[in-house]
Amino acid sequence: MESTRHPNLLGIECDVADADALIAAVARVTARFGPSTVGVANAGIQRDARVGHMRAADWDEVIRVDLTAGFRLTQALWAAMSSAGTGRMVYLSSVAKDGNFGQANYAAAKAGLVGLARTVAIEGGPAGITANVVCPGVIDTPGTAEFKQRAPAAYERFISGVPARRAGTPTDVAGVIDFLCSPAAAYVSGQTIYVDGGLSCGHN
**Cα gap 42→188, rounded to integer Å:** 19
Considering the candidates 91, 106, 187, 194, report the single residue annotated as catalytic: 106
**194 classed as catalytic:** no
As a three-state string, the secondary structure of the chain is CECCCCCCCECCCCCCCCHHHHHHHHHHHHHHHCCCCEEEECCCCCCCECHHHCCHHHHHHHHHHHHHHHHHHHHHHHHHHHHHCCEEEEEECCHHHHCCCCEHHHHHHHHHHHHHHHHHHHHHHHHCEEEEEEEECCECCHHHHHHHHHCHHHHHHHHHCCCCCCCECHHHHHHHHHHHCCHHHCCCCCCEEEECCCHHHCCC
Of residues 122, 146, 148, 138, the one with CA closest to residue 200: 138
Active-site residues, by number, are: 106
